[in-house]
Amino acid sequence: MGRRVNVIGVGMTKFAKPGASDDYHVMASAAGRAALEDAGVAFSEIEQAYAGYVYGDSTCGQRAVYELGLTGIPVFNVNNNCSTGSTALMLARQAVEGGLCECVIAIGFEKMEKGALGSKFTDRTNPVERHALVMSEVQGFTQAPPAAQMFGGAGREYQWKHGTKRETFAKISEKARKHAAKNPYAIFNQPLTVDEVLASDPVYDPLTRYQCCPPTCGAAAAVLCSDDFAKKHGIAKPVYIAAQAMTTDLPSSFEPKSMIKMVGYDMAAGAAKKVYEKAGLGPQDVQVVELHDCFTANELLTYEALGLCKEGEAEKFIWDGDNTYGGKFVTNPSGGLLSKGHPLGATGLAQCTELVWQLRGQAGDRQVPSAHVALQHNLGLGGACVVTMYRRD
């Protein structure tokens, strides 16, 4: 059993549309400085840095971290598709948990271009992507961006199995915008109705434009430390990582021929199971969740994969309001990827930032009452899924 790992500082930039952001190193250093200030720690006390991004050169991490200081520390560049930010967080946690370091920083950033989410998943040499595209072609829908084909296809499969209404998927987007209206860091915070979501341009049935996350630019960061380091710096009752797990693809990603399995359902369920077992807690103990809603279909599937509701009951879960304030859980109080945006390398650390704020009671108008246990789900196809549980006693 390793040492407890605390998250003592977090920070992020307001996400921006492609073409309207600062350069990546400017965003990353701004998020890093915010996290250091939040922690009350000088960069000279940081022993290692983990920099996550998808689009960029091999040492963009150095370019970003050097803005914080030139102290000669190791800088590790991390790329794990959409789960990059949480992968950097996991590596940072392991360094502290294993006793290699007392204090480290994880930074995630991305400067994206328009249409990046549509073009990213086009590598037919990747077995997951190739499998998904072949299945989409069999279904007769090949004009949508490949990522939408994957997750839209999973949504269609869920509909076939459970008779789910198109309005149910749109209801998730309506909820996301309602939450984002209270988040100054979200790029889209104008409320939408279910009818407006359904009336937006069709992408890949059941998905419409407002049910797909936008490519955005931004950065986020977290400072992690040991208990001894926190005590020496007078940090009382910090948020800590109660459990964390990463899973990658299983045989079920390819057989049986299921789009639901292919887009990470079993990865998420497996990682969640490990986290619950390690933490000694279950989904019933969680108050707030930030999950990977790259498309509304994935949010619906993830409710069941994480055990927030039983298999086949996501539609009732949504219409009963158990995914929002006043229900069983508040999912994506930040507005999620659908409203906050999805700068690939930053997403996992932005989720971390939101949950730390929630557990500290610093989330302002979107604060979840009495939040003391939080759950994070960050998914990347190709594939990797990271699930993290945070606590504040």
Q: Catalytic residues, which ones?
A: 82
Count CB neighbours of 193 within 10 A.
13
- The structure tokens 């959409």 sit at 82
E-strand spans in 161-295? 202-204, 207-208, 218-225, 239-247, 288-290
Q: How buried is residue 94: exposed, middle or buried, by Cβ count under 10 Å (0-12/13-18/19+)? A: middle
Phi (first) and psi of residue 76, to 5 degrees: -105, 125
- The structure tokens 């996501």 sit at 314
Containing 33, the helix (H) or strand (E) segment is helix 24-39
Phi (first) and psi of residue 184, to 5 degrees: -65, -15
In a 3-state reduction of DSSP, which class is residue 81? coil
Containing 8, the helix (H) or strand (E) segment is strand 5-12
Short-list 329, 297, 306, CA closest to 164 = 297
Helix-strand-coil split of the chain, %, nearest 5:
45, 20, 40
Contact 153, 204 (CB under 8 A): yes
- Report d(CA 282, CA 130) in Å as an integer: 35
Contact 88, 106 (CB under 8 A): yes
- The structure tokens 């008779």 sit at 163
- Report d(CA 71, CA 250) in Å as an integer: 41
Contact 109, 77 (CB under 8 A): no
Short-list 343, 260, 344, CA closest to 303 = 260
Length, in residues, of the chain:
393
- DSSP secondary structure string for all residues of 240-256: EEEEEEEE---GGGTSS
Containing 104, the helix (H) or strand (E) segment is strand 103-110
